[in-house]
Amino acid sequence: MPIRAERPDGWPGREPRRVVVVPGGPVLVEGPVELVTDEGTTLYCDRFVVAVCACRRSHRYPLCDTSHRRRQRGSGERTPQGGTA
């Protein structure tokens, strides 16, 4: 089946899952979802939206725990108090 920008007429069966790719963040998938890891482990997630890690920095991989937000400050980056690191 070709990839299309719009839903084709006569879409088979049930409604398709919505997947949102967040730039610099996780992939959000409307649940419930069955995830199969590269090791063959199956995870069943019954949440209404499941955040799947795209950066592999999550401590709960393949689920996102927002570890991608934590960065080390480089020289010249401002701290929350307005100073420099």
pLDDT in tens, 56-82: 888 888 999 887 776 544 545 444 555
- Summary count for the chain: helices (H), strands (E): 0, 5
Q: Which residue has the tokens 């995870």?
A: 43
Q: How many beta carbons lie within 10 A of that of residue 26, not counting itself?
A: 22
Please tell me the predicted confidence (pLDDT) of residue 85: 44
Q: Which residue has the tokens 């959000």?
A: 28
Distance of alpha carbon 26 from alpha carbon 49, whole angstroms: 11
Please tell me the predicted confidence (pLDDT) of residue 11: 59
pLDDT in tens, 26-60: 999 998 888 888 889 999 988 899 999 988 888 88
**pTM for the predicted model, two decimal places:** 0.64
User: What CA–CA distances, in Å, run from 68 to 24, 41, 58, 76, 85?
Assistant: 8, 23, 7, 21, 20
Share of the chain above pLDDT 90, in %: 19
Higher-confidence position of 63 and 7: 63
Distance of alpha carbon 39 from alpha carbon 67, whole angstroms: 21
Please tell me the predicted confidence (pLDDT) of residue 50: 92
